[in-house]
Structure 1
Amino acid sequence: MTKQQQQLAEEFVTLLETEQLEWKKGWSGISARPYNPVTGTVYHGVNRFRLLLTAQALGYQDPRWCTFHQIQQNNWRLKSGKGQSSRVEIWMPYDRELKKWITWEEFREQGGITERYCLRTKSYPVFNGDMIEGIPQLEVTLQEVDPVELVDTISDSMQVPIVYHETDRAFYRPSEDRIYLPNREQFFSTYDYASTALHELAHATGAAHRLNRKLTGSTSQESYAQEELVAEITSCFLSSELPVQQTEEHIRNHQAYVQSWIRQIREKPESLVRAIQSAEQVSNYLEYHEKRITWEEYQKRVGEVQSNTPSEEKLPEKHPQREEKERMDSILKDVPDFGTNQKRRIVAVESTKDYEDPDFTPNRYNSKGSGREDYYRVVGIQEGGWYVEPVEDKIYHSYREAEKAIKATPAWKQISYDRLIQESGKERTRKLEAREKIRTEVDNLEEKISQLKEKQGYLKQLLKECEENPKLAQARQQILEYEKSIGRMESCMKEAGEAELLAYAKQCEEYLAFGESVDQLTDVLKTKEQMSMREAVSVCKTPDLLQKAGCKPLPMHMSQQHLLDCMHPKQKENAHYHGLTKAEIKKIPEALECPVILAESMTRKDTMIALLDYREQNGNPLLVAIRPNGKALYQVEQIDSNFIMSVYGKDHFQNFLQKMIKEDKLIYIDQEKGKRLGYFGKEIEQFAFKDKEILKQISSQTVEKGKRIGRHL
Structure 2
Amino acid sequence: MGFQDKGQRHGSTLYSEVTDQIIAQLEEGILPWVKPWDDGRVPLGLPRNGQTGRCYSGINVLILWHMVFDRRFHWQRWVTYRQALAMGGHVRKGEQGTTVCYADKFIPKRNDAEQASGGEEPRQIAFLKRFTVFNLDQCEGLDDDSANGPVTRNEAVLIPRADALIEASGADIRIGGDEAYYAPAFDHIVVPPPHIYYEPINWYRTALHELGHWSGHPSRLDRLPKTSFGSPEYAREELVAEMASAFLCAELGIVPTVRHADYIGSWLSVLREDSKAIFRAASQASKAADYLMNFLPPTEAGEDRVSEGRLAA
TM-score, normalisation: structure 2: 0.73
Number of equivalenced pairs: 281
Contact 1:198–1:244 (CA under 8 A) maintained in structure 2 = no
Please name the residue that 2:168 is paired with: 157
Which residues in structure 2 correspond to 1:229-244 (within 5 Å)? 229-244=239-254
Distance 2:156 2:292 in 1: 16
Alignment of 1:508-547 (within 5 A): none
Q: How many Å apart are 1:77 and its aligned residue?
A: 4.7
Change in CA separation of 1:289 and 1:145 when aligned onto 2, cut-off 3 Å: farther
Which one-letter code corresponds to 1:286 in the other structure?
A: L
Q: Give the counterpart of 1:56 among 54, 69, 79.
A: 69
Contact 1:23 1:235 in 2 (8 A): no
> Which has more radius of gyration?
1
Deviations 1:110-155 (CA, angstroms, capped at 9, x unpaired)? xx64138987544232221123233214334457664663343223
Secondary structure of 2:48's aligned partner? coil
Q: Where do 1:505-654 residues align within 5 Å?
A: none
1:283 aligned onto 2:293: no
Residue in structure 1 matching 2:57, options 29, 44, 48? 44
Q: Give, in whole Å, the separation in 1 of the partners of 2:199 and 2:157.
A: 12
Find the counterpart in structure 2 of residue 134 from structure 1.
141
Matches within 5 A, 1:289-328: 289-292=295-298
**Residue aligning to 1:115:** 110
1:87 alignment partner AA: T
Name 1:198's counterpart in structure 2. Answer: 208
**125-134 or 278-287, larger mean C-alpha shift:** 125-134
Aligned counterpart, 1:183: 193
Q: Which of 85, 99, 102 is matched with 1:87 structurally? A: 99
Partner of 2:80: 67
Conserved? CA contact 1:23–1:236, under 8 Å: no
Q: Is the 8 A contact 1:179 1:200 kept in 2?
A: yes
CA gap of 1:58–1:225, structure 2 versus 1, over 3 A, is farther
| Aligned CA distance change for structure 1 residues 261 and 303 (closer, same or farther; 3 Å) | closer
TM-fit CA distance, 1:181:
2.0
Counterpart secondary structure, 2:60:
helix
In structure 2, the CA distance between the partners of 1:159 and 1:266, relative to structure 1 (3 Å rule), is: same
Identity of aligned residues (%): 25
Alpha-carbon offset, residue 203 of structure 1: 1.7
- Pick from 69, 92, 96: which aligns with 1:78? 92
Higher RCO (C-alpha 8 Å, min separation 6)? 2
Deviation at 1:272, TM superposition (A): 1.4
Is the contact between residue 238 and residue 283 of structure 1 (CA under 8 Å) also seen in structure 2?
yes
For the Cα contact (< 8 Å) 2:227–2:233, is it kept in 1? Answer: no
What secondary structure is seen at the aligned counterpart in 2 of 1:62?
Answer: coil
Change (3 A) 1:302 1:135: closer
Equivalent position SS for 2:241: helix
Give the residue type in structure 2 aligned to 1:182: P
Q: Aligned with 2:131: secondary structure?
A: strand
Give the secondary structure class of the aligned counterpart of 2:132: strand
Classify the secondary structure of the residue corresponding to 1:115.
helix
Q: Letter of the 2:35 partner, please give it.
A: W
Q: 1: distance between equivalents of 2:166 and 2:85?
A: 47
Residue 62 of structure 1: how far off its partner (Å):
0.7
Q: Quick check: 1:125 aligned with 2:132?
A: yes
How far did 1:266 drift? 1.6
CA separation of 1:293 and 1:260: change in aligned 2, threshold 3 A: farther
Cα displacement string for residues 379-402 of structure 1 (whole angstroms, at most 9, x for unaligned residues): xxxxxxxxxxxxxxxxxxxxxxxx
CA distance in 2 between counterparts of 1:93 and 1:226 reads 24
Pairing 1:100-111 to 2, within 5 Å after superposition? none
Aligned: 1:23 with 2:23: no
SS in 1 for 2:45: coil
> 2: distance between equivalents of 1:176 and 1:91?
35
Residues 471-496 of structure 1, C-alpha deviation per residue, up to 9 Å, x if partnerless? Answer: xxxxxxxxxxxxxxxxxxxxxxxxxx
- Give the superposed CA RMSD: 3.8
Distance 1:228 1:245 in 2: 20
CA contact (8 A) 1:171 1:180 kept: yes
**How far off is 1:184 after superposition?**
2.4
Residues 79 and 20 of structure 1: is their aligned pair in 2 closer, same or farther, counting only changes over 3 Å?
farther
Shift of 1:51: 1.6
Aligned to 1:520: none
Query: Aligned ranges for residues 664-703 of structure 1 at < 5 Å?
Result: none
Amino acid paired to 1:276:
A
Q: CA deviation at 1:206?
A: 1.5
Aligned positions of 1:484-523 closer than 5 A: none
Checking the alignment, whether the CA contact within 8 Å between 1:151 and 1:197 is kept in structure 2 is no
Q: Distance in 1 between matches of 2:159 and 2:85?
A: 46
SS in 1 for 2:99: strand
Structure 1 residue runs of 4+, over 6 Å off? 91-94, 116-119, 300-305
Which one-letter code corresponds to 2:214 in the other structure? A
Residues 72/149 of structure 1: CA separation in 2 closer, same or farther (3 Å cut): closer
Q: Which runs of 5+ in 2 are unaligned?
A: 4-10, 113-124
State whether residues 24 and 246 of structure 1, in contact with CA within 8 Å, keep that contact through their aligned partners in structure 2. Answer: no
Q: Per the alignment, do residues 239 and 164 of structure 1 end up closer, same or farther by CA in structure 2, a change over 3 Å counting?
A: closer
The structural deviation recorded for 1:179 is 1.9
- Aligned partner of 1:88: which letter? V
Counterpart for residue 45 of structure 2: 32
Read off the aligned partner of 2:174 and give its amino acid letter: V
Contact kept, 8 Å, 2:44 with 2:253, in 1: the verdict is no
What secondary structure is seen at the aligned counterpart in 1 of 2:211? helix
- Measure, in 2, the Cα distance between the counterparts of 1:215 and 1:149: 32
**TM-score, with length taken from structure 1:** 0.35
Once the two structures are superposed, what CA deviation does each residue of 1:644-671 show, in whole Å capped at 9, x if it has no partner?
xxxxxxxxxxxxxxxxxxxxxxxxxxxx
Partner of 1:467: none
